[in-house]
Amino acid sequence: MTEKNLLLAIFEDIDPAAHAVDKLRELGVTDEHVTVISGTPITEAMLGRKPQWSNVTRFALGGAFVGLCVGIFLAYGTPQLYPIVVNARWIGVPPTIVVMFELTMLLMLISTFLGVFLDSRFPNYTPTEYVPEISDGRIALLIECGGELEAAVEAAMKSIGAESVKRAQAEAL
């Protein structure tokens, strides 16, 4: 595929869109070259696609681990630096559990927010595709295909039940 073209196929319902994704696979268009645009959340399983992996979980676990380490240091390291022995005990267990829990949750929350922020690539200043029909409840497939596949993809989308198939162009909003 030397020349890349963007085709926009608009469907009224999710069933024809799911069949269109299967048909595109048969034609040799991979999932990386198909973008689903919808006004409602559509999971990958609804369209028979592989689930997308996110780094948010890694950010959250990393933040929780750092928070736990900071909590342990504050709970057990500070009494080592400034020992105060009260009734033959120098560290109380219940306050240390509270400190470790609160710092774990605090840093996990902050790192999760940063993970979502970074994983969604926000803010995005690149030109994006906007389809006004999506606001009316339609589902669009943005298909990146080579010039030799364009006619076959267009014919397949119309035979499956696409309302319209046209060339798309990314525009800055």
Report pLDDT digits (tens) over 80-129: 888 877 777 767 788 899 999 999 999 999 999 999 988 887 777 776 66
pLDDT at res. 78 = 85
Do 24 and 109 reside in the same domain of the chain? no
* Domain-embedded: residue 27: yes
pLDDT at res. 1 = 43
User: pTM score > 0.75 for this model?
Assistant: no
* Domain-embedded: residue 173: no
Domain boundaries, position 144: 4-52+126-167
Q: Is the pLDDT of residue 133 over 60?
A: yes
Query: How far apart (Å, rounded) are the C-alpha atoms in residues 55 and 111?
Result: 11
